[in-house]
């Protein structure tokens, strides 16, 4: 597998409502993070041009830690929107994300602040091709009472995008 | 006194989780559903014991304070006890 991009908190952009708080953790190091609420589904996006040589199954690896929870599970979902040159989509007015890609919700680390990395297979990649203008949407599925059970914020540190190269 | 609406209980639950997140305050093995049940139970207890709480306040404070002020007074006392770890 090859890393195609690594997205961090500062490069995210946000919808007009229900988005994670951009903050820093570790009072000395001030590590940028995205704080996903435990009660409300929140999402953010990253944009990129799909690189040349893109091939095979793509995955998103989410690096996160919990603010205070030391047990139970957290659930994330990733959606992809790939816009090709001349596609009939007014990006100033609407979006066209493919079906959401889910993960097997992990049990959070036993110590708050310890990182965990969870992989989301991007089965639904909106027929992405090299050169497409691509948007990745990351959400915490906070209203899933079965798979998202950990209390408090989930701090997303980065998201790595890989393909099968 | 009526219990909080479901939306108010949800908001309380969400605000509590944000507060413990900001303070990095672990809640043991508690799940979100467990915590929500606790919020509901505390709200019900407050509702069930409103009369007893009011009776516990001596006059003239009982007569002079509004219901909102009495609730605020309780919040201050409980917060101070929390800070001291009582």
pLDDT value for A162: 97
CB contact under 8 A, A151 and B24: no
Confidence of residue B82 (pLDDT cuts 50, 70, 90): confident
CB contact under 8 A, A152 and B28: no
What's the average model confidence in pLDDT over B60-84? Answer: 93
Angstroms from A88 CA to nearest CA on chain B: 40
Tens digits of pLDDT across chain A (165 residues): 899 999 999 999 999 999 999 999 999 999 999 999 999 999 999 999 999 999 999 999 999 999 999 999 999 999 999 999 999 999 999 999 999 999 999 999 999 999 999 999 999 999 999 999 999 999 999 999 999 999 999 999 999 999 998
> What predicted TM-score, i.e. pTM, was given to this entire model?
0.93
pLDDT value for A165: 85
> For the residues of B24-74, what is the DSSP string, one character each?
T---TT-BHHHHHHHHHHHHHHHHHTHHHHHHHSPTTHHHHS-HHHHHHHH
The candidate with the shortest Cα–Cα distance to A61, out of A7, A141, A124, is A7
Which residues, in sequence order, are bridge partners of residue A140?
A: A42, A76
pLDDT at B85 over 80: no
CA angle B51, B52, B54 (to 5 degrees): 65
Nearest CA in chain B to A39: B14
In this structure, the number of other CB atoms found within 10 A of the CB of residue A25 comes to: 18
CB contact under 8 A, A149 and B24: no
Confidence of residue B86 (pLDDT cuts 50, 70, 90): low
Residues 21-80 of A with CB under 8 A from B: 35, 37-40, 67-72
CB-nearest partner of B21 from A40, A70, A153: A153
Residues 16-45 of B with CB under 8 A from A: 17-18, 20-33, 35
What's the average model confidence in pLDDT over B46-63? Answer: 96
pLDDT at B15 over 90: yes
DSSP 8-state secondary structure symbol assigned to residue B81:
H
CB contact under 8 A, A113 and B27: no
CB contact under 8 A, B20 and A149: no
């Amino acid at each position: 597998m090859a890393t195609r991009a690594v997205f961090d908190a500062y490069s995210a952009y946000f919808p007009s409502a229900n988005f994670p708080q951009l903050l820093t953790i570790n009072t000395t190091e001030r590590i940028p993070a995205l704080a996903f609420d435990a009660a409300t589904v929140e999402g953010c996006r990253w944009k990129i041009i799909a690189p040349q040589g893109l091939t095979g199954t793509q995955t998103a690896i989410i690096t996160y830690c919990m603010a205070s929870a030391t047990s139970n599970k957290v659930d994330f979902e990733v959606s992809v929107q790939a816009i090709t040159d001349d596609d009939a989509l007014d990006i100033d007015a609407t979006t066209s994300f493919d079906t959401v890609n889910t993960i097997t919700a992990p049990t959070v680390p036993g110590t708050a602040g310890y990182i965990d990395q969870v992989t989301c297979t991007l089965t639904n990649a909106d027929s992405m091709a090299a050169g497409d203008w691509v948007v990745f949407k990351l959400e915490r599925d906070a209203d899933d009472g079965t798979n998202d059970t950990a209390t408090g914020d989930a701090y997303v540190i980065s998201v790595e995008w890989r393909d099968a190269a | 006194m009526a219990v909080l609406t479901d939306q108010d209980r949800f908001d309380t639950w969400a605000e509590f989780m944000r507060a413990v997140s900001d303070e990095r305050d672990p809640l043991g093995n508690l799940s979100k559903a467990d915590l929500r049940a606790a919020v509901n139970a505390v709200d019900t207890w407050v509702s069930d014991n409103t009369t007893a709480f009011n009776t516990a306040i001596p006059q003239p404070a009982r007569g002079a304070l509004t219901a909102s002020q009495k609730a605020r007074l309780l919040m201050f006392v409980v917060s101070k006890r929390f800070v001291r770890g009582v």
